[in-house]
Structure formats: structure tokens, C-alpha cells
Chains A and B, each alone.
Chain A
Amino acid sequence: MTRITIGPFNRVEGDLEVRLDVESGRVQRAEVTAPLYRGFEQILEGRPPLDALVLAPRICGICSVSQSVAAAAALRHAMGTEAAPNGLLATNIAHAAENAADHLTHFYIFFMPDFAREAYASQDWYQETRERFAATRGSAARDALPARARLLETMGIIAGKWPHSLAFQPGGATRAIELGERVRLLSIVTSFRTFLERTVFADTLENMLSLSTADELDRWRAGRSGDFAHFLRLADSLALSELGKGPGVLMSYGAYQGADCGLFPRGIVGPDMVVEPLPLSQISEDVSHAWMRDCSSDPAHSNTVPDPDKAGAYSWCKAPRLSGQPVEVGAIARQTVAGQALIADLVAPSGTNVRNRVIARLIETARIALAMEQWTRALRLSEPFCAPSQEMPDGAYVGLVEAARGSLGHWVAVRGGKIERYQIIAPTTWNFSPRDSLGVAGPLEQALVGTDVGEAGARSVAVQHVVRSFDPCMVCTAH
């Protein structure tokens, strides 16, 4: 048995370290470490509740809108008020833009460059992949970064700036969209659609989304250009559907808000593929292997107190569990819970894995682009965008949203007009969780077991694929 340590990981958001026990070239056991902690939950205590709208987004510069929206949702519940429908639509558009941008960043900047590594020099697709996807030098980044920057102009219009936008409030959004701005928004969404249809899919979004089985996807990609089809060829050639299997239970809090615009539903789904309601009260956090002091496992009643010398701990990340079990979150969970036909057909036989996670992200991106068009048209420009703020009575409240990487929850307790406690469970906290008190490993730790690292050891590219297939956001993880 050899123990190898991989870190610092490059091309992930934040810091990450992975330790692997390897025997006969295969991973027997994995430990995932989040080596960075800032203390947002401690810092938020005692402040005016609305200050969470400014502080919480600064947990992450890549998914700050998700953090904003979760904080706003928690405070809205605290106020016991309804948001203005226009405000929720505007928030959805901005949130969708951020999530789509994250999916593009993951695919083009973080994930694909690993296929341009020398380890694959003997593959017949190597040369083409290298020219297109090599880190910092490939042509793909030159296409994707401007498309992404243009998409994020949406944020400018709706929220003034991004990252760390301020416009998202419990009552809706501070900015009333005007007619000319709606036209600009539509033009941005249209150009994003064009990028997806020309560069990513080489087909219309409608055609893409009409594919409902793995066989149809295989027929569709035969001879097709575009980066998605290129990925599918790589995935086949490297059997990526057999790499990085998840723990089996998938969870979604439900994505995008509003009575008539909740796009993806809330629920959980197991290996039997039956979608069931989410038992929210069964969410807990275990700190047995985190550098944290023991306290309540219920996020509504717990505090975060660092304990850097704790014996047996190996991460700043806590271990969230649903009914005592680790669960996987992310686009693949959202789309499976939402019953997206193609994703369900891929997940049913092979579960979650490196290939399916990437496909789910791109399919979701297509769905989001279409939804952004509809939301922009649905804005009623003369009606309010923000409902007035209300007093916040003492009590415990929760705001649940889906960030690009999965389920994000803010649990806030208010007392005497101040924040008494604030607890955050982020998507990568779920996916990159350490072991719990029963010794059960987190989803990535489980997904790494069995990975063939061969002679490459710490340089194993397979390990890189597995880790990146979750699109980790480490600064959110331990916050």
C-alpha cells in the first residue's frame, strides 16, 4: 500500500488536497481535504440580518449570485413576506446566467484541458484535442471566454456588476428593468444561444433537447462537429462512464423561483430512479473528521467553532448527511430529479460518473438558455420589482437554492433584530464531505475508490477527471 498526496489542485475554485491509498495501481481509500477556512458563519453572528446580503456572497467569486439568492430567500422567510414576481424573474435570469457561465467555465477551462495532457499522446484524438483544449493555449478558451463575458453582461443590466452583486433583496431586485434593457437582455441571451448552437452543440437547442435516450444521443453525435460531440467521443474511447461512480442518492432543492417559473423541482432520487419528496428535517452535519468543535448536528441549531488541533480530523469541511447518508448534488442530480429524459436514461443503467456529470451540465445549460428567454419576455415592466422590507421576528429560517454545483442552503436564526446563528451548507460541502462518525466516506471519497492510477501515481490523469467531474468550489465548501 502506498499513500500519495495530490495538491495543491490546479484549475479548481479554491484550494484542495486529496490523499489516496493505492495498492496494485488502484485506489483503495481516499481522503479529501479542504485546506482553507475563513469563518463567514462566525463573522455573521451578531450583525444586522440584511448585512448577510453583502457578506454571504463574498464566500465565493464564482457563484456569488447563488449565495446572494440563498441569503435573500432565508431573510424573506424571516420577514414572512412574498417577493415581487418581477423581482424573482430578474433574479432567475441573473442566477441562470451565472450558473450557465459556471458550466461553461467548468467544461472549457477546468475539465477539458486534462485531455490535452501527454498521458494521452498515443490517442488518435490527441492532436485535435490539444489544439482545441490545452490549458491557457487552446483555441477553445478564445471562443468560450468572450461568450461567457458577454453572457455576464446580463449581470451588469440586472445587478450593476458581477461578481458580488448587490441587487438581490428579500423583496425581489432593486433594479426595475426598462424596455430598452429588456431588448438588450434578449440580445445577450440570443447571442449566448448562438454560441451554444454553433460551438458547443453544432445543432439547435430544440434538437439537442429532443434527444431522450442514450441510443439517440449516439446516433446524433455520429460525424457531428462541435465540442460536445468531441467530448462524447473521448468519453467513449476512455470509458468515462465507468469512472468516478457516485454514492447512489441524488438530491435537488429545486431551482429558480416563482409560482409559475420554478424550473427544476425539489426531491431526491435513488438507484430505483423513483423521485421522492425531500425530508428537509433529515439534513444534518457531522464534524467527527472536521477541524471543528462538536455541537448540534442540526444546521438550524449549530455553530461553527474551529478546532485546528482536533485528533482524527483532516478537513475544514463538515460532513452533511441526509437521513444519515451521503448524497450527491449538482446538475446531474437536478436533471435526474427533474426527470430530464436523456439524463434519466443515462443515469438509470450506469449511475453517476464522469461522463454523465459532464453531459448533465451541458444539457442543463441548453435548458437554462431557453428559460432565460422566457423569463425575460415574462417581465411586466410597469409592475414592482421589489416588495417592501418587513421586520424580522425572532426565529429560525432557511433559504434553499441550487447553485451550479448543487444544493445550497442558508440556515439563519434571528434574535432581537440581529443574526444569532448562521449556518451554510454548500454543494461541494455535500460532494467533498469527509467521513462521518460511522466512518462513511463522502461522495468524492467513494467515487475515487477503485480508480486505476497505474504507474502514474500522483500524476494520474484519471484522478483529475474524477475530482473535476464534480466541478468543486472549495471556497464555498468550508467558507
Chain B
Amino acid sequence: MGTATETFYSVIRRQGITRRSFHKFCSLTATSLGLGPLAASRIANALETKPRVPVIWMHGLECTCCSESFIRSAHPLVKDAVLSMISLDYDDTIMAAAGHQAEAILEETRAKHKGQYILAVEGNPPLNEGGMFCIDGGKPFVEKLKMMAEDAMAIIAWGACASWGCVQAAKPNPTQATPIDKVITNKPIIKVPGCPPIAEVMTGVVTFITTFGKLPELDRQGRPKMFYSQRIHDKCYRRPHFDAGQFVEEWDDEAARKGYCLYKMGCKGPTTYNACSTVRWNGGVSFPIQSGHGCIGCSEDGFWDKGSFYDRLTNIKQFGIEKNADQIGMAAAGAVGAAVAAHAAVTAVKRLASKREDAGHNS
């Protein structure tokens, strides 16, 4: 599927995307990555000259919300990113091949692009009962995951399932659903948490890796800093009402119609690191707090087992919040712990690039 030396640009041009539209995509991506206008031309240049990076997108124990989020990304070019730009060689949800033929693609990619492909994982492996709770192609998913991870350049852990375990790992976690990084320990892993992650965050991460040939800067928990360094609360449009002590007490009450703060309805915005209040959802239209419901903190580890979703956070003081929340921030954000891993990925991508140029056009 696809040729080894094709560039992103040649593929999307073949699909009838205009040059103007392509450059718009590059600017939007640069903006969403927080890289400023100069980066747009770097992205454009990279997409025009670099070969496509093979991506294997596997599904473990999950609900497909990450795929759903990804294919709804706002910019029309992004769906081409899904369908061709990133050379999606294997994806359960959209690919043409089935059964043994599909399994063969995995073997082929592994052999042909050893150490050069990105393994994107949606969901996680359940380890209970020898992996019996997620059987894929007659084998426990955990085996397939380990096999494909062995020769991957880097792994993207999509969503809360792959990053932390998510609601299926909630007590009593009947299947022993386990985050990817507890199973794969010898590869760079970038966590993109959220249930699901925002489409633009997902495409931003993929575009960054394929454009710059390295992982973006990660925080101590392995999340890209460019999207996960601010709390929902920091940029929430209802923040002034929090500061003024104006709160919603009941769904759709008078205070709700005035857009007051949802903290008393259980909002977890003050302790949640994600881009919802800046990037927003469904084409930038809205985000959960804008629908009048509090944030449930779905991108945070363990959000499913911290008491009722409708309980108010008891460790946040209404005033003097900064001191308390900063302590949380210290623990969550931290320094870059993945520099070594990121360096390994850079090297691998460079190797990939030079090798492919040598290989020439082979299709």
C-alpha cells in the first residue's frame, strides 16, 4: 500500500487537493502546535520532500472513540491524512483487507520497515486469564502488541485506554486492562490521553512526528507539552465566574443560563491538563463545559475511580486556589523525562529517511 519514496505532498496532490489548501493546512497545523508562522513553511517543506512514514494503527480493548475523533478533524485535509497522507498501512476500522490478508500486512510491514514504522495503539491489552478478554486473529491482543512493538520506531498511545487504562480499568478491573507503557518498556511512547483525545491534538501529534522526525517535547507523564501543559481551568471562559464566586447549583438553572462556573456540579477543570478550553471540539464549536456540564477530567490518570463524577473536588479551595493547584501542577507537568527516548526516535527517523532515498522508487 503506497510506495516507499512517495511524499505526503505528492499523495495529496494526486487526490486533487489544491496547493492553496495544502498551505492552509500547514499554517493551521503550525498554529495548533504553537509553533508560529515560520514553522508553516518548514512543515510544508518537510511534507513536500520527506517520504511518508508507515503507520500501523492497532485496536486493543477500546471503544473506537479515538478513531472517531480523528476522522472528524476539522480541516478537510486531515481526513486525507487519515486515508493516505500518513500511509496508514493497517487500520482495523477503515482498511480494505480482511482476515488473514490483514494479518499478512502486519508481517509485511514489520519485515519491510523494521525499526521505521510508527505503531499507533488505540485501547490496551487486558492481561487477566492469559489475555482471553481481547482475542484478535486467534491470539491474545497482548501478543500482537508486543510483536508489532518490537520493530516499531516509536509508539503513540492514543487516548485514556492506551495511556492509563480508562474506564475499563475501573474497579474491579475485571479484565486487568493495562496501559501500554506497563507492557512495552523498551520503546519511546508518546501518550495522547483523553476520552477521546481532541482530533486536532491527534493530527497535530502525527504531523509533528512525521514532519520533524522526532517526538514532540513530553512532560514527565509522557504527554506532549504543547497540548497538555495547561489546565482546562486556566483558559476556561467561565473562569471569571469562579473567581467571583458565582456558581451553577442545578442543571439549566438561572445561574447556568448566565454561564456561571460549574465547579459545584463536579467540574474537574481545575485539575485537568488538556486543550479542550482552547482548541475545543467538533470543529472548534464547543467543549463539555460549554454544554453546561462540568469537565470529568477524562485525560487524567485514574479519573474513573476518584469518587462520583458529580462530587465537587474537596481539595480545591475557592480562593487561594493557585497554591493548591500548583502543587498538583508540579506533580503532573514536571520536566522532560523523555529526552533520551525522543533522541532515539529522531535517529530512527533519520535512518528511515536515508534508507528510503537509497531504495529508490519501488512500486
Q: Which residues of A contact B (CB under 8 A)?
A: 5-11, 13-15, 17, 35-40, 42-43, 47-48, 50-51, 53-55, 58-62, 64, 84, 87, 109, 113, 116-117, 134-137, 141-142, 145-146, 148-150, 152-153, 155-167, 169, 171-176, 291, 306, 308, 316, 384-386, 388-389, 458-459, 464, 475
Residues of A within 8 A of B285 (CB): 153, 156-157
Q: Which residues of B contact A (CB under 8 A)?
A: 15, 59, 61-69, 71-74, 76, 79-80, 83-84, 88, 92-103, 126, 129, 132-138, 166-168, 170-175, 177, 195-196, 250-252, 256-257, 276, 280-283, 285-294, 296, 298, 304, 308-310
Knowing A48-B308, A61-B68, A308-B129, say if A160 contacts B286 (CB, 8 Å): yes
Residues of B within 8 A of A156 (CB): 280-283, 285-286
Pairwise interchain contact A175-B291, C-beta atoms closer than 8 A: yes
Residues of A within 8 A of B79 (CB): 141-142, 145-146, 149
The one of A9, A36, A149 in contact with B134, judged by C-beta atoms closer than 8 angstroms, is A36
- 17 more contacts with CB within 8 A, not counting A8-B92, A161-B281, A164-B195, are A9-B98, A17-B135, A36-B133, A37-B134, A54-B309, A55-B170, A152-B282, A160-B288, A160-B291, A163-B65, A163-B68, A164-B65, A173-B252, A174-B293, A175-B252, A175-B290, A458-B100
A7→B282 CA distance, assembly (Å): 33
Residues of B within 8 A of A162 (CB): 281-282
Pairwise interchain contact A136-B84, C-beta atoms closer than 8 A: yes
Pairwise interchain contact B84-A137, C-beta atoms closer than 8 A: yes
Residues of B within 8 A of A39 (CB): 133, 168, 173-175
Residues of B within 8 A of A62 (CB): 63-65, 68
> Chain A: which residue is nearest B60 at the CB level?
A36
Pairwise interchain contact B64-A61, C-beta atoms closer than 8 A: yes
A310→B298 CA distance, assembly (Å): 35
A459→B100 CA distance, assembly (Å): 9
Knowing A38-B177, A160-B287, say if A9 contacts B133 (CB, 8 Å): no
CB distance from B268 to the nearest CB of A (A): 11
Pairwise interchain contact B288-A166, C-beta atoms closer than 8 A: yes
CB distance from B39 to the nearest CB of A (A): 26
A135→B102 CA distance, assembly (Å): 13
Knowing A43-B168, A62-B68, say if A38 contacts B133 (CB, 8 Å): yes
> Chain B: which residue is nearest A87 at the CB level?
B252
CB distance from B29 to the nearest CB of A (A): 17
> Chain B: which residue is nearest A60 at the CB level?
B63
| 10 residue pairs, one from A and one from B, having the closest CB atoms | A61-B65, A160-B291, A156-B285, A156-B282, A39-B174, A135-B96, A161-B281, A174-B292, A35-B135, A386-B252
Pairwise interchain contact A8-B102, C-beta atoms closer than 8 A: yes
A156→B71 CA distance, assembly (Å): 16
Please, could you name 26 A-B residue pairs with CB atoms under 8 Å apart, sorted by A? A8-B99, A10-B95, A10-B98, A11-B93, A14-B63, A38-B168, A40-B168, A51-B309, A54-B296, A59-B63, A61-B66, A62-B63, A84-B252, A109-B93, A135-B95, A146-B76, A153-B282, A153-B285, A156-B283, A164-B195, A172-B251, A175-B293, A176-B252, A385-B251, A385-B252, A388-B251
Most buried by A among B61, B76, B280: B61
Residues of A within 8 A of B283 (CB): 149-150, 153, 156
Pairwise interchain contact B174-A306, C-beta atoms closer than 8 A: yes
